[in-house]
Structure 1
Amino acid sequence: MDATFWAFVALVIFIAISIYFKVPGALGSALDKRAAKIAGDLEDARRLREEAQQLLAEYQRKRKEAESEAASIIEAAKNEASQLVTEARQKTEEFVTRRSAMAEQKIAQAEREAVNEVRSTAVDIATEAARKLIELKVDAKAGADLFKASLSDLKAKLN
């Protein structure tokens, strides 16, 4: 009996004791439980992955919607700003036109007033000169009558 024989006998006894205490069944059961746990974990991971992909797709869709909404808001703001600029230019041009027309009217009125004032002054000067000339050449009564007649003729021409 050599050492190989005793090693074989020890192995057989070990296997018999293991079978008696149901070690292979316990090992199989433990391995089955572990396999079931791993399968459950894999199923949970697959389900979580699908949920994550759905959430990702939903967030990407929402992001695209938000981007398109932001683009439309920006476009609307640009259009509104353009309209405001156009309206402001138009109002400014209208204001400048009105102010220019008012200034031209005031200038024309001032010119008319200046011409009338010059005419009035010229008439006054001419009247005074005529009075002095007549006074020098004509006697007082005839001069007064002639002056009054000239004055009424002159007033009739002006009106």
Structure 2
Amino acid sequence: MAILYDTYLVVALAFLGFFLVLWRYGVHNMIFKSLDARADRIRFELEEATRLREEAQSLLASYERKQRDVEETAAAIVARAKEDAQIAAEEARKALAVSIERRVKSAKDQIAAAETAAVRAVKDRAVDVASAAAADVIAASMTDAAANARVDAAIAEIGRKLH
């Protein structure tokens, strides 16, 4: 039994016995099955990750297409808005020109009316001044006898015109 005093040999025999017990109860099969199951799970996860990656790439491409479409639509809307703004500005210029022309014509008409009124006022004033001057001249040069003669002549003329 001197062999049992050698620790290396005892450890080697215990190690060998331990593996034989594991082999006998099929622990190696359980380990292999566990490793195979883990490999299958990893393979499934890799396939799922690949599928998700492809799906994400297709979604990204779809969103990029949609973004391009939206950008094109926005550019078209901006271009149309610019065209509409130019058209509106041109219409506003035309309307302003018509309005200015109408106001100029109205101002000319008002000026002509004011001129006519001023000429009429000057004529009326001239008539008033001339009448007053004539009255003053006649009053200064008229004597009582001449005035009576004129009144008698006017009365006679009215009598002739009435009959």
Q: TM-score, normalised by structure 1?
A: 0.72
* 1:95 alignment partner in structure 2: 99
Q: Distance in 1 between matches of 2:40 and 2:129?
A: 130
Q: Which residue of 1 aligns with 2:160?
A: none
Once the 2 structures are TM-superposed, how far is the Cα of residue 124 of structure 1 from its aligned partner?
A: 6.2
Please name the residue that 1:140 is paired with.
150
Partners of 2:19 and 2:125 in 1: how far apart? 148
What stretches of structure 2 of length at least 5 have no aligned partner?
Answer: 155-163
Provide the rounded CA distance (Å) in 2 between the counterparts of 1:124 and 1:3: 159
Q: Who is 1:30 aligned against? A: 34
Residue in structure 2 matched with residue 65 of structure 1 by the alignment: 69
**What does residue 17 of structure 1 align with?**
21
Which structure is richer in relative contact order (CA contacts within 8 A, separation 6 or more)? 1
Mean alpha-carbon deviation: is it higher for 73-82 or for 18-27? Answer: 73-82
2:90 is equivalent to residue 86 of structure 1: yes
**Superimposed CA distance per residue, residues 53-74 of structure 1 (whole angstroms, 9 cap, x where no aligned partner):** 1111111211221122122222
Partner AA of 2:108 in structure 1: E
- Larger mean Cα displacement after TM superposition, 120-129 or 7-16: 120-129
For 2:80, the equivalent position in structure 1 comes to: 76
Report which of the two structures shows the higher radius of gyration computed on alpha carbons.
2
Corresponding residue to 1:40 among 39, 44, 53: 44
d(CA) in 2 for partners of 1:89, 1:73: 24
Give the number of aligned pairs: 144
Distance 1:112 1:11 in 2: 137
Letter in 1 for 2:89: V
Q: State which drifts further: 40-49 or 79-88.
A: 79-88
**Per-residue deviation, 1:121:** 4.8
Query: What residue is the counterpart of 1:154 in the other structure?
Result: none
TM-score (norm 2): 0.70
More displaced stretch, 33-42 vs 8-17: 8-17
Residue type at the aligned position of 2:40: A
- 1:147 aligns with none
Letter in 2 for 1:30: S
Q: Post-superposition shift, 1:115?
A: 2.4
Q: 2:113 aligns to what?
A: 109
Equivalent position amino acid for 1:78 in 2: K
Q: Aligned residue for 2:159?
A: none
Larger mean Cα displacement after TM superposition, 82-91 or 42-51: 82-91
